[in-house]
């Protein structure tokens, strides 16, 4: 194992941010990039969001696609670490990519709005993290605003998300009375100066909370309250242990305000030291260690280019082992075809640049003309397939109605290709061959319709269907054959001809699972 490779692996931190829209993901991202020197002015990341109110006009999304390639992966250096932040699109562009991106990270930061608590999208994204026991740090944001009581917020994480919390800092007041946070971990007081940036001068080391220093810094009443809070908190919650965090059992929680850049640096400093470097990954026949000399990686996302005349796309490759060297021959294990990426790009915050080398944990962009699929493994020749890059159940289903019978072929080809990109999932109803498109975000339908028309010349309409979930089903052959003929309405085939059960309600799904014990229902396409 080369020393250089080990050093490069150990200094990499590849993560994603999970949050509900408006919790502060963009603001936090921007602050992290500012620390990394990747951007110099506030507002650089915001430009993406600025148009979000206009995105009911989905043309905007098309325009944004260029920007979203650039912000899909934001790489930056901080204190000697190479940090790769993978974007998890929210708002209207929330889609399966958002889920799948989380299969390419080594850890995640969860941002919660302290005035709202745990919200729906956070919950969904966390479920994906839990499948892989992804370690999660929590940033309890917006403490400068009146919010819920900190204990209530921590209880909510435990109850709703099923994780043990470990507060690393504690807010002193909230909203108008907010004075700063006490870092339980570093035993220091970080004072909040409204409208001012956090600086070293605002940090007071307090080794003993009983000292009068504390009263002098925040006033007697607040000091009394803080002493009481810390006694309670340290008595109730466990001390941080790295192991439990790395197993995804415990989430360290930091209180702060992304907008005021408050408490962000403390979390980042903690993150670089404790968050995992690239980890070994499972394949269908062995575990691959990042320090193995031979290159391997997988495709987790495919992004079509803007220009409809050239159907070239960018495939996002997560490197799992070895060094990637530009121009070297790689094998696509699924097709056995050799590819030789000639202009691989690295993503450094808002710019893309062609690179000669990359290491485990890094994400590179490869130009593709339709040979790569999401989930593909690339190696130097070994026949292994990385696991854990499944499809997730869509939540909105619509039947495709072909509006131009002369363009049926184009329609089918377009649907297939767009679904390969991960824009949506395509199902075929078992009983009558109807094409059903499933997505996790409503806007995807407009995007598909638009792109089918402009890139494939095919016109279609979508008729709503009452389903809310697709479950992949397995059972011994004779049982499944019998079952699918009795359930004509709810049974469809996915793009790989696997049976799925389409459920109308959570309740009906649960009933079906109970009533059909011989059938296994899977919530992702990988089991």
Contacts to ligand G4P by CB under 6 A: 19, 21-27, 46, 49, 90, 141-142, 144-145, 257-260
Cα separation, 109 vs 13, in Å, equals 12
| DSSP output for 133-195 | T--EEEEEE-TTS----HHHHHHHHHHHH--EEEESEEEES-GGG--EEEETTTTEEEE--TT
The distance of closest approach from Cβ of residue 178 to ligand G4P in the complex, given in angstroms and rounded to an integer, is 10
Cα separation, 228 vs 84, in Å, equals 39
Residue 463 near residue 401, CB atoms below 8 Å: yes
The distance of closest approach from Cβ of residue 257 to ligand G4P in the complex, given in angstroms and rounded to an integer, is 3
Residue closer to ligand G4P (CB basis): 30 or 421: 30
The distance of closest approach from Cβ of residue 170 to ligand G4P in the complex, given in angstroms and rounded to an integer, is 17
Residue closer to ligand G4P (CB basis): 48 or 281: 48
Phi, psi of 434 (to 5 degrees): -55, 140
The distance of closest approach from Cβ of residue 24 to ligand G4P in the complex, given in angstroms and rounded to an integer, is 4
Alpha carbon distance, N-terminus to C-terminus of the chain: 33
Torsion of CA 500, 502, 506, 507, to 10 degrees: -100
Q: What's the DSSP call for residue 297?
A: E
Cα separation, 263 vs 137, in Å, equals 13
Beta-sheet pairing, 313-321 with 296-304: antiparallel
Torsion of CA 253, 254, 257, 260, to 10 degrees: -160
Residue closer to ligand G4P (CB basis): 204 or 259: 259
Residue closer to ligand G4P (CB basis): 14 or 141: 141
Q: Which residues contact 460 (CB under 8 A, 6 or more apart)?
A: 400, 401, 402, 403, 411, 449, 452
The distance of closest approach from Cβ of residue 260 to ligand G4P in the complex, given in angstroms and rounded to an integer, is 6
Closest CA relative to residue 38, chosen from 89, 88, 73, 62 = 73
Closest CA relative to residue 86, chosen from 72, 67, 68, 103 = 72
Residue closer to ligand G4P (CB basis): 24 or 297: 24
Cα separation, 389 vs 492, in Å, equals 21
Residue closer to ligand G4P (CB basis): 21 or 280: 21
Q: Tokens in use for 365?
A: 């962009």
Residue closer to ligand G4P (CB basis): 139 or 467: 139
Residue closer to ligand G4P (CB basis): 23 or 69: 23
Alpha-carbon Rg for the chain, nearest whole angstrom, is 24
Residue closer to ligand G4P (CB basis): 23 or 339: 23
Q: Residue 117, SS3?
A: coil
Residue closer to ligand G4P (CB basis): 46 or 205: 46
The distance of closest approach from Cβ of residue 125 to ligand G4P in the complex, given in angstroms and rounded to an integer, is 12
Residue closer to ligand G4P (CB basis): 9 or 34: 34
Residue closer to ligand G4P (CB basis): 140 or 330: 140
Beta-sheet pairing, 203-205 with 330-332: unpaired
The distance of closest approach from Cβ of residue 23 to ligand G4P in the complex, given in angstroms and rounded to an integer, is 5
Q: What's the DSSP call for residue 483?
A: H
Strand partners, 189: 182, 204
Cα separation, 367 vs 388, in Å, equals 23
Cα separation, 261 vs 247, in Å, equals 29
């Amino acid at each position: 194992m080369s020393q250089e490779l080990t050093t490069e692996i150990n200094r990499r931190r590849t993560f994603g941010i999970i949050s509900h829209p408006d919790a502060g993901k963009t603001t936090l991202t921007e602050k992290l990039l500012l620390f990394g020197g990747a951007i110099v002015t506030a507002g650089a990341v915001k430009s993406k969001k600025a148009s979000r109110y206009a995105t009911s006009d989905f043309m905007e999304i098309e325009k944004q696609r260029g920007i979203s390639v650039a912000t899909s992966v934001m790489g930056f250096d901080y204190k000697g670490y190479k940090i790769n932040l993978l974007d998890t699109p929210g708002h209207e562009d929330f889609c399966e990519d958002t889920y799948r991106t989380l299969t390419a990270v080594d850890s995640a930061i969860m941002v919660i709005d302290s005035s709202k608590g745990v919200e729906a999208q956070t919950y969904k994204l966390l479920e994906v993290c839990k499948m892989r026991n992804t370690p999660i740090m929590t940033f309890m944001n917006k403490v400068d605003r009146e919010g819920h009581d900190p204990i209530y917020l921590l209880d909510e994480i435990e109850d709703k998300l099923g994780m043990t919390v470990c507060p690393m800092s504690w807010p002193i007041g909230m909203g108008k009375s907010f004075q700063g946070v006490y870092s339980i971990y570093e035993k220091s007081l970080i004072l909040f100066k409204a409208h001012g940036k956090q600086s070293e001068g605002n940090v007071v080391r307090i080794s003993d909370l009983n000292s009068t220093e504390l009263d002098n810094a925040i006033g007697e009443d607040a000091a009394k309250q803080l002493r009481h809070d810390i006694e309670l908190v340290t008595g109730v919650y466990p001390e941080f242990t790295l192991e439990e965090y790395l197993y995804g059992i415990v989430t360290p929680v930091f209180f702060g305000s992304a907008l005021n850049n408050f408490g962000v640096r403390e979390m980042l400093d903690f993150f670089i030291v404790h968050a995992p470097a690239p980890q070994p990954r499972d394949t269908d026949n062995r575990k691959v260690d990042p320090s193995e000399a031979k290159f391997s990686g997988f495709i987790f996302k495919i992004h079509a280019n803007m220009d409809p005349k050239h159907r070239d796309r960018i495939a996002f490759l997560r490197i799992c082992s070895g060094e990637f060297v530009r121009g070297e021959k790689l094998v696509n294990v699924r097709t056995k075809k050799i590819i030789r990426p000639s202009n691989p790009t690295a993503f450094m915050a808002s710019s893309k640049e062609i690179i000669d080398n990359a290491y485990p944990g890094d994400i590179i962009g490869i130009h593709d003309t339709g040979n790569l699929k999401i989930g593909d493994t690339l190696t130097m020749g070994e026949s292994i397939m990385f696991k854990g890059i499944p499809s997730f159940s869509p939540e909105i289903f619509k039947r495709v109605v072909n509006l131009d019978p002369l363009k049926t072929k184009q329609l089918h080809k377009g649907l297939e290709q767009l679904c390969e990109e991960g824009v949506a999932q395509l199902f075929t109803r078992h009983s009558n061959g109807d094409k059903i498109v499933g997505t996790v975000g409503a806007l995807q339908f407009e995007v598909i319709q638009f792109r089918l028309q402009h890139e494939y010349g095919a016109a279609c309409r979508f008729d709503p269907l009452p389903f809310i979930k697709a479950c992949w089903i397995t059972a011994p052959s004779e049982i499944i054959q019998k079952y699918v003929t009795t359930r004509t309405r709810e049974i469809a085939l996915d793009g790989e001809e696997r049976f799925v059960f389409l459920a109308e309600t959570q309740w009906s799904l649960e009933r079906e699972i109970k009533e059909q014990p011989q059938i296994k229902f899977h919530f992702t396409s990988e089991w």
